[in-house]
Structure 1
Amino acid sequence: MSFRQGITNLSRHATPSEISKYALKASSASAVSSTRPGDYVSRNASTVPPVTQNSVGSKGPTAMVLMNMGGPSTTDEVGDFLSRLFQDGDLIPLGRLQNYLGKFISARRTPKIKKQYAEIGGGSPIRKWSEHQGAEMCKILDKISPDTAPHKPYVAFRYASPLTEDMYERLFQDGFGKGRGGRAVAFTQYPQYSCSTTGSSLNELWKWRNRLEGKRASGEVDPEGAIKWSVIDRWPAHSGLIEAFATNIENTLSTYPVEKRDKVVLLFSAHSLPMSVVNRGDPYPSEVAATVYAVMQRLGFSNPYRLVWQSQVGPQPWLGAQTQFTVEEYIKKGQTDLTLIPIAFTSDHIETLYELDKEIIGEANEPGLKRVESMNGNPIFIQALADIAKAHLESHTSCSAQMLLRCPGCTSERCLGSKQFFAAQQERL
């Protein structure tokens, strides 16, 4: 079946052209220098010189767009952040009354969540770390992938500034698109794919592309000179990611007495999903489990471990066992040496700094209960981002074959349209 036929027949699934297989090797990088939080924000992609290449033929410059959920940088942004989050049916499905219930729930929760953000410094550090990771990754890419240089970092958050539409306008300001062409890579910062996270972010990107330079803007599905998009949609077992996690775990284990070290229980904690999403066939649980198993292989299965789930919201059933319940039960059983590992997060935010550190570790008040450091500025992790991006650029593929396979129970036309769009970009690369 041809690639075009695969797109046409994409209902429950599609078969794209064969995607090249490659092996990636983790390598170390020099340590990241200490910088004040405000210094990261100044690295805004809008300061990058305009694109000068023609819309056809040049491999660079390349826009590298790191996509994530985001978080409010100040407590004043909490209300808008929660409103967008609870109105996203891909993340928290509330049915036909999604917009109404989303606004109602967010308004009820805003005062409480504001207090939580106030306790972790007045806002989320996720923008700081995302901009830092993107800037450092692009420095490495300029050296290891000169054909696609210069690489220009952008951040697109789903629920907080900079939003996807803001990022797209910055691309225009920097000379990409609107008849001038250019290459952009949407690089999800959720290592494990879920329709609720990566899928939602890509659906949002597809929506704004259509509005700003697609059919709704020009009358054409794929106007000449539009930005050429490709997607890095998952990387749950990449060797660099695994090495970064394993190194952080080893650093934390080294703080326990030698006689206790191999008896510490490792609790890998990931954001949970509603069971309705899991039962629909979402790949997230299996991909998180793949990350956990690869990390334990790298550690030589040195410790007992469990995969647990956090951040349940609302009354409907969610994937468990819940992290807090697990910690409480183990402590009751006398197992007080426990290490929490945020396995699905690439930087600190409220789920690590408040939920894990304050609600679970702080309330338990057990000296043997600790948390492994998040990726943040980890140079091994940033090198891994660059290695993943380089391999993707060399593969000349618009997305993975796995991304094109819809969940067995998927009925979302938005999801279908988004997948068809990114699959069709293959012919433009």
Structure 2
Amino acid sequence: MSSPSVAASGATHHLMIMAYGGPDSLDDVGPYLMDVRNHRPTSDELIEEITERYRQIGGRSPILELTRAEAAGIEGALNDLAMDGERWKVWVAMRHWRPFIKDVMAEMQAAGVERTIGLVMAPHYSAMSIGGYYKRVESAESSIDVLPVERWNLNPGYLDALHDRLADALEKFPADERAGVPVIFTAHSLPERILENNDPYPDDLQETVAALVERMPGIDWHWAYQSAAMTPDPWLGPDAGEVIQQLQDAGKRNVLICPIGFVCEHVEILFDIDVEFRQLAEKLNMRLERIEMLNDHPSMLVGLAQVARGRAVDAGWIQ
């Protein structure tokens, strides 16, 4: 990486937003899984199982269009924050599907981009998750300097957006039941082996939960992971399905899911929560709701613009 220098007035600065990616059609599920699985063979049974999940949520993943909407909002916020004629351009890249990180970086390089801030649309750091994106950046073998944002789990704009969505979701329940509605905060599970390397992922998550709970005194909150893969290795728990069952055993009839580890709709939300967990709740004679995802919530987008610009200022790229 070259030595940073302060950009001249009127320069264009760049931010590359990265998200997980998802198939654009049912025919894309097999190739998509091949990339997710690092080109290991994928059984026909697994392809059909995942294809059926996407079939039930509309036949495709909405993550690219949602991320592009987020990018447009962040770009607008960055240019609102800009000083002395500075300009910002935001690029969108996917880890496991088109437009792939390496292809977007090639496009950026062809456009003359020399350096960019990198920001993953996931607030909590893990070497397996966020670190994996930056391995893709390295493997792109681009000459572009990428300055990473590793975490934004306590960003005020992100927390404001979560608080708004959570408060709105609680309004779905009758007023006389609202105070006692259990809230399950969730994030994507990861293999337990990450703990062997003191991975900060669980701590990052609990910091977010603590910040939210501080804003909502008296909330009946619970913690769970979701969307663990079916592998021989143990994954972080407890699983959200188990917590829903425990709440029913304790006599609860309502439950609100608040996914803090995801910012927009994709299969882990639209299928894992909206289909599987809702079916479980119905079986248990419970009412299950979830928060509206953050998507392009203005508070989060402004917060991320501040994160990106602050990273550039700290690096001496701009003043």
**Letter of the structure 2 residue corresponding to residue 331 of structure 1:** Q
Q: Cα distance, 1:312 vs. partner?
A: 1.3
Please say if residues 255 and 288 of structure 2, whose CA atoms lie closer than 8 Å, have aligned partners that are also in contact: yes
Residue 208 of structure 2 corresponds to residue 291 of structure 1:
yes
Q: Cα distance, 1:395 vs. partner?
A: 1.5
Query: How well do the aligned residues superpose, as a CA RMSD in angstroms?
Result: 2.2
Distance 1:367 1:331, change over 3 A: closer
Q: Cα distance, 1:391 vs. partner?
A: 1.8
Q: Deviations over 1:352-382 (max 9, x none)?
A: 0000010011342246311011111211211
Counterpart of 1:244 in 2: which secondary structure?
Answer: helix
From 54, 60, 68, the equivalent of 1:117 is 54
Query: Normalization by structure 2: what TM-score?
Result: 0.91
Q: Cα distance, 1:136 vs. partner?
A: 1.2
Residue 136 of structure 2 corresponds to residue 204 of structure 1:
yes
Counterpart of 2:214 in 1: which secondary structure?
Answer: helix
C-alpha distance in structure 1 between counterparts of 2:84 and 2:193, whole Å: 45
Counterpart of 1:103 in 2: which secondary structure?
Answer: coil
Matches within 5 A, 1:363-378: 363-365=280-282, 366=285, 368-378=287-297
The equivalent of 1:265 in structure 2 is 182
Query: Normalization by structure 1: what TM-score?
Result: 0.69
**Letter of the structure 1 residue corresponding to residue 313 of structure 2:** E
Q: Deviations over 1:98-149 (max 9, x none)?
A: x5xx3235x4411111111111111111111111111111111112123573
The equivalent of 2:267 in structure 1 is 350
Q: Deviations over 1:219-269 (max 9, x none)?
A: xxxxxxxx3321111011111111110110000111212221111111001
Please say if residues 69 and 158 of structure 1, whose CA atoms lie closer than 8 Å, have aligned partners that are also in contact: yes
Unaligned runs of 5+ in 1: 1-54, 88-98, 177-181, 214-226, 399-427
Q: Deviations over 1:389-429 (max 9, x none)?
A: 2222222269xxxxxxxxxxxxxxxxxxxxxxxxxxxxx99
Please say if residues 133 and 377 of structure 1, whose CA atoms lie closer than 8 Å, have aligned partners that are also in contact: yes
Counterpart of 1:273 in 2: which secondary structure?
Answer: coil
Matches within 5 A, 1:77-96: 77-87=28-38
Unaligned runs of 5+ in 2: none
Q: Cα distance, 1:332 vs. partner?
A: 3.0
The equivalent of 1:310 in structure 2 is 226
**Letter of the structure 2 residue corresponding to residue 282 of structure 1:** D
Please say if residues 248 and 286 of structure 2, whose CA atoms lie closer than 8 Å, have aligned partners that are also in contact: no
Q: Which stretches of structure 1, 4 residues or more, deviate above 3 A after TM superposition? A: 55-59, 146-149
Counterpart of 1:318 in 2: which secondary structure?
Answer: coil
Please say if residues 192 and 236 of structure 1, whose CA atoms lie closer than 8 Å, have aligned partners that are also in contact: yes
The equivalent of 1:66 in structure 2 is 17
Q: Cα distance, 1:315 vs. partner?
A: 2.3
Counterpart of 1:234 in 2: which secondary structure?
Answer: coil
C-alpha distance in structure 1 between counterparts of 2:93 and 2:47, whole Å: 23
Counterpart of 2:209 in 1: which secondary structure?
Answer: helix
Please say if residues 156 and 167 of structure 1, whose CA atoms lie closer than 8 Å, have aligned partners that are also in contact: yes
From 191, 194, 201, the equivalent of 1:274 is 191
Please say if residues 141 and 149 of structure 1, whose CA atoms lie closer than 8 Å, have aligned partners that are also in contact: no
C-alpha distance in structure 2 between counterparts of 1:394 and 1:56, whole Å: 9
Distance 1:272 1:61, change over 3 A: same
Identity of aligned residues (%): 26
C-alpha distance in structure 1 between counterparts of 2:8 and 2:146, whole Å: 15
Residue 155 of structure 2 corresponds to residue 238 of structure 1:
yes
**Letter of the structure 2 residue corresponding to residue 194 of structure 1:** S
Counterpart of 1:156 in 2: which secondary structure?
Answer: strand
C-alpha distance in structure 1 between counterparts of 2:84 and 2:258, whole Å: 37
Higher strand share: 2
